[in-house]
Structure 1
């Protein structure tokens, strides 16, 4: 048998893998569930300052548009 390492991107994925395991189609060897990391922490320092500022302005503008439309 081959061993494959995958990264799960949604909670539904783990449920699907558990169902496949119950059908004896695969076996989960290790469950490494990490705590959720906030995107701001995950990507801190990854963008140049000017791009990060433009992105922040865009996000704030988008949120203001939603607030005004409610």
Structure 2
């Protein structure tokens, strides 16, 4: 019974690990071109999240920390 329990526990740990990896996504080496959001402040104002496609025409609010729209879109992926 102990062996069966340990095997089931190992399977459950593997499922949790796989789910965490799926949510985390693929690791990319930080560098030029691996940006998350574009901020355009002049001549027009726009912030675009490149992963989710969410856009905001109020960059001042985003720069002040109002990221709820971006976070909600990311958690819905």
Coarse TM-score class (shorter-chain normalised): 0.3 to 0.5
Identify the structure with bigger relative contact order (alpha carbons < 8 Å, sequence gap 6+).
2
Which structure: greater helix fraction?
Answer: 1
Which structure: greater strand fraction?
Answer: 2
* TM-score normalised according to structure 2 size: 0.30
* TM-score normalised according to structure 1 size: 0.33
